[in-house]
Structure 1
Amino acid sequence: MNFFEQQDIARRNTKRLVALLILAVLSLIAVTTAMFAGIMLYMQTGNSAYHMETAGLGFWASLGTLLDWQTVSGISMVVITVVLIGGLFKYQQLRRGGRVVAESLGGRLINTDTRDANERKLLNVVEEMAIASGAPVPPVYLMEESAINAFAAGHTPQDAVIGITRGCIEQLNRDELQGVIAHEFSHIFHGDMRLNMRLVALLNGILLLGLIGHFMVRGAMYSSVGRSNRDNKGSGIAIAGIGLIIIGYAGTFFGNIIKAAVSRQREFLADASAVQFTRDNSGIAGALKKIGGANAGSKLEAAHSAEFSHMYFSQGVSTAFNSLMATHPPLSERIKRVEPSWDGEFTVAAAAPEPDSSAETNSASVDRERFFKASVLAAAVEQIGEASSENLSQAQQQLQQIGEPLREAAHSPIGACAIVFGLLLDTVNSDLRKRQWQSLADHYSKALLHEWRDTVKQAATVNELDRLALLELCLPTLKSLSEPQVQTLQQAMDMLISADNKTDLHEWSLRRIVTHQLGEPNFHSQHKQLRQMRNSCQLVLSYLAHAGNDNTAEATQAFNQALELLRMNELPLLDRSQLTIAALDKALNELNRTRPLQKPQLLKAMMRTIESDGKITATEAELFRAIADSLNCPVPPLARQ
């Protein structure tokens, strides 16, 4: 289940989706034309002139006198225009990312400082999964429904959210909940989430004709009140509306077939990925068994549940011709795939017991070595999108090393900002650190700075191997800040970084992750070849070469080794003076357009650059993971030896 192959499959499925959409639109045009022809024929009943004109003609020839090519072309243009307008309107609505879906389903953003035991358990599982996989921690929404279900929604990992029902967190134990969350992370890793968002937008256009029909019928019924029986205008509008409703049902039929065709096989992949991630098939299998045994099952009651039916963990709505149009495979088939020995009995769901608190707090000793072998980074790259149970165990250890006070602080807006500033404060030069702290008074009040002081001190002393994990804990809270608050945060960060008139690797890494995760999602298609972005490759690899080597000759050697992998040996190493932060940010944004199957080449070239001396520092590893994050390639934490 290679991450980049699955990303490429999702990209190709988008083309398949467009082809299916075109077939659906052609079908709608045919249905609309047939209905129009039927109405025209009905209107000629009793028309002697028409019957005299068509005497002796066959049915199709008679129909041709009423339905010429100009009429058919007009009908086609109207249908296509409505579908395009509906799709573009929905796409614009969805630009805000996964939170639009969560809010449409009645989801409530779980406060990261919640004291509810089940909500806290859920957030802990999500944080562990995200840190283990190297992905940003997504905001989590809770739907007050008794059914057992969940979803992941968004365009990119930047704007992804996870939604989950009350029934899921109350009826599943920790292992089962972990299996469900791992399933949803698989959808994030493998590009299914973005495909699903596009599917919603495209199908909205198909369904719009039916919605217009419903509106016309309601309008006609309202306007007919008080009209005389001789006024047939309202009834004519109602008839047209009913016709559009019928066409809308045809659109729903085609839309459900498209959903089923696109999503069912991806559910099997996500189940398998969840087992691979947790190394435990009983978690995902147990959750599916409880769905089968629960009264509410996985069926959702939210008003817009049908619109997003293909996004759920399990079948969320009932459909006609269920075997044909179901967006998810049957429960029994999914369970058999992950647990072949299953006896066919579902589990009656009950309130899940609270996990043993001692298991939550137990941590093993961790080697705090500052250097990694080159092979460790290579292994992490191979695990992109396929994190293991070892990664999960390491994430739990990291959370223990960070400590409960900082974890609590990361769950509040004030504490999260304080942690970011604490990670940026200089830990060597006390005079510089004092100037940095004083400069924060230009953006924040003295009272707030006083409140931050203890948290900032704690964050500044966090081991460098745990800095990214701590920052990732802050991301969901930082995403809840208003736009002015985000701007103030970024301005303060830039001021702290520029206090010594230079930007080191650690500072750039933190800044890049925050600005990338809090910025607008990247909607660019991924279709470019690396050869088309030679200048961007040259700039990023030059930056990495200089970052890991003070000697120009050694930097050149590292740079040339990377170029050999990309077959771009003609490019020279750029001078340090050409490597500005703005240029690097621009180059990374451009490289995000790379085709999924070519990203491994780029990552391996980057890896070759920083490992040229045979070892990798924690700061270099941090830099590599920050750049990979910018390319939406979540690199798991490096294994500690």
Structure 2
Amino acid sequence: MPKKNITILLISFLVVTLAVTGILNLIFGLIVHFFDQTTSIWWHILSPIVVIFMLILILGSALFKTWAYQKNGQRIAKYHQAKRIEPFNCVPEEALAFKINLELAESCGVYPAHLYVFDEELGINALTVGYTEKDVSIILTWGALQSMNQDELKGMLAHEYSHILANDYVEHTQLEVLLSGFLLIGQLGSYFIVRGTKHKTLLIDSMFAAVYVALGGFIWLLGCLGVIASRILKFIIFYHRELKTDLAACELVDQQYLLHALTRIYVHDRGSHIYRTDGESIAHYCFANALSEQSWFKIHPSLSRRINYLHPDFGRVAVIENKASEINWQNLISKLLLPTNEEVLLDALNAQHWQLPQQLPYLRLSPISFTVKDAVRALSPEIRQSMERPELLLRAMQTATGCREVIVAIFMIRQYRDFIPEDAQVSQAIIEALLKLDGRIHIQIFYEALRHIDNMPTIASRQFLNRISQIIQADGEIGLLDCLLLERVKATQSMLDDALIVSKKHCTQAIVHLVDAILHVQQINSHNQLRVHHNILKHILMHDELQHYATITDQPLDLANSLRLVSGLLVREKLYLLSVIEHELWSERVITQDELDVLELLYWRLGFETEEMVNRMLKQSSLLIL
């Protein structure tokens, strides 16, 4: 740590020590003056005791912490009862954090930090402790591991590595050691209060219970003075540091990762709080505020301020008031980034923009599928890739323009089935070639064409997306598979909206719409749809919410918006939703090709890998057929 920082730290510590000692001396002086009014309140019979007590307390606590930590970050983590994350003996959430940790260390050119976890803390937070680069340790809360996806976790760990690169963790650790004496008074008072309120087995214990509580309360009040003093000192030294560290973290990873990490904490029901007896002493280490929102002199700026500091436009659309009674989601679906020059040109030319249709479509009640021999079975990816294609399709897919026409033709077939209007702006030759094929490989051809359409200019991309949206909603209805395919096209053109990070209570309607859309993919009658609808939602919604959504959606809806909201849920919430849907729909029923395509795209849209799921569903279907 630079000598300038050490000097500032020591001077600030001495000033705070003198201030706390002086105030304590004044308090006892007032007590002594009450009994003997001839005694000065500034220097009295108890003054030497107060001074000696403060010296012993501060020096003793600092020496004890120094001995306990042994100038080693791993010892600090163990002292705070954190569990080490071992690469060969960890759960998947810990393995993901370990992998990200190695990647960040390599990109920063430093030793990988030792990873630990507070496995009983459900708030989202992280802290970095240590004395040297080789022993520095990062402690994650279990809430962070189970609630954040890979990008969010990477954003938070990048913030911690920014502290490591700046050697901030050394100053943080030394300050904790110096201030341990101030916080010990409050902890001692808490001990007496707990001792006095415990269940009594002996009469003598009950007699002294009130004394314990009164003494503990008095000591705790005195300890509050030390807590406030330590917070003021931390506030003065560290308040603006987190904002600078956020900017430094954006140089290590994509800015969106950090923004999403901060927003995830904002909507999380437990926030970033750490409920530990030593929470006060480690609060200044943390990624976000570990104390209550009402705490004085918090060293961490508010989450909304940090988000706006990084990206003002993101803050306007991504941060949702936790106490909002009604949310206008339409206003939230606005652009996250400032206009580019090309977008300014679009406005000037009044060109056609990609936007939600003015009149939202209804859910398509009957799925679009193709009746062929053995159509009940879904084909493996290998078979779909190896099936022969007409020469016309192969020639068309040799150019980006031809690939775009193939994609449009597939959407057109899905909308109109065997009857294509003569005035439709689509290649009739490509339509005829596709109709000669097994309909189960159309989506595979779609994927192959999608890989070669190239990243078009923004104007061309918007026109292409509008062309597709007009096709799939021509009859005022939309199916989930068509919507997901359109999302896939938007992703290739870098126009797919990022997940809107929300809490579950803010997207209940979106979850219900998604469940209903999946039900419409299946070829089952209305009575069975309603039964499955109830069976799925009873695992996800509260009882009063379940009564509100007793029927299947029959109102216009924005499926793309629903997908965006659901993709912003916690990882465990998304996995649970998918597992319930799979169990209720396909545990005793063979999955069709359309259903498998929908499920694969849904996994992709919610941020998960799809290969393992596809293989699992194909094996399950084979067993059911046998």
* TM tier relative to shorter chain: 0.3 to 0.5
Of the two, which has the highest radius of gyration? 2
Greater length-normalized contact order (CA 8 Å, ≥ 6 residues apart): 1
